[in-house]
Amino acid sequence: MFDIKRIKLIASREIQATLGKRSYRAGLIVQILIVALLALSPIIIAKFRGDDSGGPTVNTIVVVDQANANLSVLLPPMLDALSNDADRRFEISEVADDTAARDAVERGDADAALIATRPNDELAFTVITDDGDIQNSLAQMLVATASSIAIQERIDATGLSASEVQQLFTPPTMTTVQADPTASEDEGNGTEDIVNFIIAYASTIIIFIFVVMYGQWISQGVVEEKASRIMEIMVNAATPRDLLAGKVIGIMMTALMQFVPLVLTFGIIASLQVQIGKLVGVSEDQLLDINFAWIAWSSMGWFLVYFLLGFLLYGALYAGVGSMVSRQEEVGTAVAPMTTVMMIGYFAALASMSNPDGTIARIAYLFPGTTVFVAMLRLINGNPYWWEIAISIGGLLVAIVLAMMFAARLYRVGVLMYGQAPSFKSLFNLKGAQQVAR
């Protein structure tokens, strides 16, 4: 059984040792500054975008009205209606012929030109742009405007009344449906999908980085204690199981002490975006239409559950494996199998981003070694069944208990066989290991 008092003492020792490192404190300050800049990025973008606007956009258009279609009068209000942009204006000027219009566009004096002719008593138009691309927005607006002018002229020629024209152009009833009638109505929301993708992807990266970084930290700390023979003294004062649990919990707490300030920094700044924006002259409507505060606070409960469980699982294994080697250079090779499993989970999450309910995501979510890396993907972007969540959490709890028991044995054998290469048989023959150590 675990001795809670001893575990707390060992964990406190690890926390104090870690917090005493200058690199830990400096790294935390730098990370907080980076996260603060990320949280302020919508305000910074809006500020620079507003400063670079330089006033309204003016599009100059030259027209050649060979058809007497009254283009100079009709074009401005129709273009204004199409653009639906208060900061965009259109200046119309007439030139004598096609050559003058082309020259104006080529010199850059005009953004585009519209030529109206009347072959066979029917209006015809030519749009001239600098690159001949009809897909740019100004060219498309000129095409739509010219079409409207031609249609209006044809309607006037028919002698139809206003009510008859309105009935003629009344749009039909239009209904849009999804190809898959069983699909959720929320599917296909581009902004929401992007936000969910960001949350899931960022959560996967954070869990992976923190588990690997602090797992290596645990292994290297164990090797240092073993090399200085401190571990032998500690094992005499506490059981390997208590020593292992205290070390893993202590370093996990230091990881949370580094992680929680980052989340609070992002969440607080994101929640105060409007107020901060007003202080620097950025209005609310200039900010990006994304609820960054919701990103910071949503799904945090699930994230902490899987982060803590994953850390306990891999932290115990890192500590156990670290106790089996005697030099820092051997740590990378010793933890290679665990790194491989974590990489499989990480790549499974990346491969499942576009299909979070696919076979790969479901299998990886139920396997304890990879659960923590696909958990947020399944919970945010997918639709896991309640029993999948229960199996994933239950499997992690069972795996943690087994990992602690196995790592505690590795701890004991690693100390007793100091200076020797432990065999696979010795892991299951503690009595033999004690004889060898003598």
SS (H, E, C) the chain: CCCHHHHHHHHHHHHHHHHCCHHHHHHHHHHHHHHHHHHHHHHHHHHHHHHCCCCCEEEEEEEEECCCCCHHHHHHHHHHHHHCCCCEEEEEEECCCHHHHHHHHHHCCCCEEEEEECHHHCCEEEEEECCCCCCCHHHHHHHHHHHHHHHHHHHHHHCCCHHHHHHHCCCCCCCCCCCCCCCCCCCCCHHHHHHHHHHHHHHHHHHHHHHHHHHHHHHHHHHHHHHCCHHHHHHHHCCHHHHHHHHHHHHHHHHHHHHHHHHHHHHHHHHCHHHHHHHCCCCHHHCCCCCHHHHHHCCHHHHHHHHHHHHHHHHHHHHHHHCCCCCHHHHHHHCHHHHHHHHHHHHHHHHCCCCCCCHHHHHHHHCHHHHHHHHHHHHHHCCCCHHHHHHHHHHHHHHHHHHHHHHHHHHHHHHHCCCCCCCCHHHHCHHHHHHHHC
pLDDT tens per residue, range 349-384: 888 888 888 899 999 999 998 999 999 888 888 888
Question: Which class for 382: exposed (0-12), middle (13-18), buried (19 or more C-beta within 10 A)?
Answer: buried
- pLDDT over 80 at 14, yes or no: yes
- pLDDT over 80 at 132, yes or no: no
Residues contacting residue 116 through CB under 8 Å, at least 6 positions apart: 63, 64, 65, 66, 67, 69, 71, 123, 124, 125, 146
Per the CB < 8 A criterion, the answer to whether 242 and 5 are in contact is: no
Residue with the larger pLDDT of the pair 178 and 270? 270
Per the CB < 8 A criterion, the answer to whether 349 and 355 are in contact is: no
- pLDDT score, position 367: 92
What's the token pair of residue 212? 């690997």
Average model confidence (pLDDT) across the chain: 77
- pLDDT over 90 at 137, yes or no: no
Rounded to whole angstroms, how far apart are CA atoms 23 and 32?
14
pLDDT tens per residue, range 40-83: 877 887 777 655 445 567 888 999 988 888 888 888 888 887 77
Q: What angle do CA 77, 82, 86 make, to 5 degrees?
A: 75
What's the token pair of residue 193? 């999908």
When pLDDT is cut at 50, 70 and 90, the band that residue 415 belongs to is low
Average of pLDDT values for 3-24? 84
Superfamily of domain 57-159: Periplasmic binding protein-like II (3.40.190.10)
Average of pLDDT values for 226-231? 65
Average of pLDDT values for 106-131? 86
Phi, psi for 250 (deg, rounded to 5): -60, -45
User: Domain map of the chain by residue range?
Assistant: 4-42+190-437, 57-159
- pLDDT score, position 58: 80
Residue with tokens 């607006």: 141
- pLDDT over 50 at 172, yes or no: yes
The model carries a pTM of: 0.60
Residue with the larger pLDDT of the pair 433 and 375? 375
Q: What percent of the chain has pLDDT over 70?
A: 74
Q: How far is CA 151 from CA 70, 132, 158, 332, 363, in A?
A: 14, 25, 11, 75, 60
Rounded to whole angstroms, how far apart are CA atoms 278 and 265?
19
What's the token pair of residue 78? 């129709």
Pairing of strands 124-129, 57-65: unpaired
- pLDDT score, position 136: 67
Per the CB < 8 A criterion, the answer to whether 137 and 111 are in contact is: no
When pLDDT is cut at 50, 70 and 90, the band that residue 392 belongs to is very high
- pLDDT score, position 21: 84
When pLDDT is cut at 50, 70 and 90, the band that residue 435 belongs to is very low
- pLDDT score, position 393: 94
pLDDT tens per residue, range 176-220: 555 555 554 444 445 456 666 777 787 888 888 888 888 888 888
